[in-house]
Amino acid sequence: MSGAVADVMPEQPAGVSTRETLFAIVGNPNCGKSTIFNALTGLKQKVANYPGVTVEKREGSCMSLHGKRMRLIDLPGAYSLNARSPDEAVVRDVLFGRRRDTPRPDAVVIVADAANLERNLYLTTQVLELGLPALVVLNMMDVAEAKQWRIDLAQLSQKLGVPIIPMQASVGKGLVELKAAMSRKLEAPPKHEPPMPADITRALNEVRGDLVNAGAVHNEASLLEPLYLISDHDPEHYGIKDEHVNRIAAAHDTLEKKFPGWEDTLAGARYEAIEKMLDGVLRRPEREESTFTDKLDRFLLHPVWGVVTLIGLMAVLFYTVFSVAEGPMGWIEDAFGAIGSWVEGAMPEGDLRDLIVNGVVAGVGGVVVFLPQILILFFFIGLMEDSGYMSRVAFIMDRIMGKVGLNGKSFVPFLSAYACAVPGIMATRTIASLKDRIVTILVTPLASCSARLPVYALMIAAMLPSGEVPAWTKAMILLAMYLLGTVGAFFFAWIFNRTLMKGQSSLMVLEMPSYKRPSIRQLLLFMLERGRIFLRRAGTVILGLSILLWAAMTYPKTPDADKSVNLANSIAGQAGHLVEPLIKPLGFDWKIGIGLIASFAAREVFNSTMGIVYAVQEEDDEESVHLREHMAAEKWPDGSPVFTPLVCVSIMVFFVFAMQCLSTVAVVKRETNGWKWPLFQIGYMTAAAWLASFIVYQGGCLLGF
């Protein structure tokens, strides 16, 4: 291997066994690729990020029919190897073996949507041209059959030169046949030539020679590697040296000047080749009947009924969050209470016992108790994604987003942020317009993420004890908080589009997948994975902060003082008293101030902080009570209750608008390449939170609440 080759081609990572066949699963978004990956690997999978980029990496393993272990990588969904996003760049680089953290796969499982065959064959033919051993899975055959499409699988297999496996992955149909095909030794497909006009081919050969001389590609690279590199629209160019990036950009500009619109010419030539290949393979009825998807879309995408249905589904979601989760939450509270009591009985009195009972158990328990509600929230999000309804939500919201200067594509990251703002902000990479992307990043944290849910739930429980009001009332209050965050995001997007980021908004191009029956197994795996991430966070970040907070609330100790005085004189108590003049107009006391300061790291830390605050000042002979009950009994020095319904609403409104998440700040800094936008975001959100909370509390007082 020449020096140039060693420079651009990564070596096999240490520790990778060559005895296990490594399969990459590739396909368009929404083709059922991840469903197949989950069906093959089950729980034997792990999720991480590709180093250097914020793209999720999913790996797993399964056994072949011959008892051999096979490794699988579920690559991100991509429409083309001409990367236009970091996700597609990862797919291209893994298949070319350009990533040092991931070996080049031994074989590829290409998943294609049978009901959108032409479009899916675009990526399929690109992958087959790489010459890797491969097989093609035609998924959603039931949808194609419902459209009365007839696909000659034998003829398609012959034309592509690879095995074809028909599947209906949502119900596991075809899974055994897929595993059997993967268990056999796959052969490399016959050589596929990309359909390119001769003059562009000659120009690309010249570019290839130039890039080889510069060391940007190795001298054994096919014409495809420089082709996809110079077609690259991803600004990051992970793993490519700056001088090589400049060379690649110069080659792109040269080709564009010589053949204006050459990329469109290549895309057109490829679709023509696909149409020719499908002649005699795909037979459609002369007149296509309306499908189930068409009929359902007439209602769900209706300007009025579509919006009404969306609001109704959100109301059902929040009602379920309260009505179903109440029981399991009580069990978790009782379990943590029992653990605390057991530790108190088993250990002698002292700081160590106090740390475990009032720091670790109270802090972590105050967050873990909301796990059932988090799981229900993710179940509904997974249900909407897996059924195909999520794309319809983006379409419906496009009409509304357009009024504030954004398009529906901005709503997809916003919707993701209802689970967590971090992936939501990362999802803005699919937005082509820089202006729309920055505005979307600025307003995305206003979506009420799952970390806010514990705070809302605690406040609603404090002002509306169980049994006194129906679950629907609580659900409506929670829905109001989510709507307030959404309205706030639209309002600030409208402001930013007319002040900071003036300019024309981009149009939305969105794929509408066919509706399909959600896979219960897929949903359970999704819930399990997200629940595991939540618990890992509670076991690391929350645990660490709980210990620090306990120490800040315990030291320095005041000799011969009761626990309330000791807490007031502690480091945390002094910090709470320091900010009290700023937050008292919002109805908050200094103990709530401690929670607000601590929750800047993560919103849900507010709950654990409150748990520690009241556990630390609890007298030894006082009967232990649940946090929400303790908060309901908290009094001001004049004897009036602290957590009145108005104060609870004021706290919720504050958390609707406040940033309060270091992880989000870090990812905004990384996505915007600097501190300008994250600092601006912290400033405007904190000011908005204070002002909104002030209006709620002072307005409520004036009205006599």
Extract the tokens encoding 299. Answer: 């209602």
Q: Are 402 and 432 in contact (CB under 8 A)?
A: no
Q: What is the DSSP letter of 173?
A: B
Q: Which residues pair with 63 in a beta bridge?
A: 69
Q: Was 667 annotated as part of a binding site?
A: no
Q: Comparing C-alpha atoms, which of 555, 546, 561, 587 is closest to residue 573?
A: 555
- Among residues 285, 324, 364, 356, the alpha carbon closest in space to that of 607 is found at 364
Annotated binding residue at 642? no
54 annotated among ligand-binding-site residues: yes
State the sign of the Cα–Cα–Cα–Cα dihedral 684, 685, 687, 691: positive
41 is known to lie in a ligand binding site: yes
Whether residue 451 is annotated as binding a ligand: the answer is no
- Residue 76 in marked binding region: yes
Known binder of ligand: residue 140?
yes
185 is in an annotated binding site: no
User: Does 31 appear as a known binding residue?
Assistant: yes
Consecutive H or E run containing 546: helix 543-554
Give the C-alpha distances (Å, rounded to integers) separating 116 from 139, 386, 628: 10, 17, 52
Name the residue among 601, 611, 552 with its Cα closest to residue 576. Answer: 552
What are phi and psi for residue 700, nearest 5 degrees? -65, -40
What does the alpha-carbon distance between residue 590 and residue 152 come to, in Å, rounded to a whole number?
Answer: 73
Alpha-carbon span 444 to 453, nearest angstrom: 16
Task: Say whether 32 counts as a known binding-site residue.
Answer: yes
What does the alpha-carbon distance between residue 219 and residue 215 come to, in Å, rounded to a whole number?
8
82 known ligand binder = no
Q: Which residue matches tokens 């590199």?
A: 229
Query: Is residue 68 marked as binding?
Result: no
Ramachandran angles phi, psi of 193, nearest 5°: -95, 130
Whole-number CA gyration radius for the chain: 29
- What gap in Å lies between CA 451 and CA 533, rounded to an integer? 12
Q: Would you list the DSSP string of 32-45?
A: SHHHHHHHHHTT-E
- Hey, how many other C-beta atoms are within 10 angstroms of the C-beta on 349? 9
Q: Residue 75, annotated ligand binder?
A: yes
- What contacts 24+ positions apart, CB below 8 Å, involve 354-360? 354/550, 354/554, 354/616, 355/547, 355/550, 355/551, 357/615, 358/550, 358/612, 358/615, 358/616, 358/618, 359/546, 359/547, 359/549, 359/550, 359/551, 359/612, 360/543, 360/546, 360/547, 360/550
Specify the DSSP class assigned to residue 356: I
56 assigned ligand-binding residue: yes
449 annotated as a binding-site residue: no
Q: What is the distance between the alpha carbons of residues 100 and 151, in angstroms, rounded to a whole number?
A: 40
The answer to whether 672 is a known ligand-binding residue is no
Beta strands in 1-160 (DSSP E): 21-27, 45-49, 56-63, 69-74, 107-113, 134-139, 150-151
Q: Is 38 annotated as a binding residue?
A: yes
Q: Is 34 annotated as a binding residue?
A: yes
| Residue set of the binding site | 27-34, 38-39, 41-42, 52-56, 74-77, 139-142
| Residue set of the binding site for GTP | 27-34, 52-56, 74-77, 139-142
| Residue set of the binding site for Mg(2+) | 38-39, 41-42
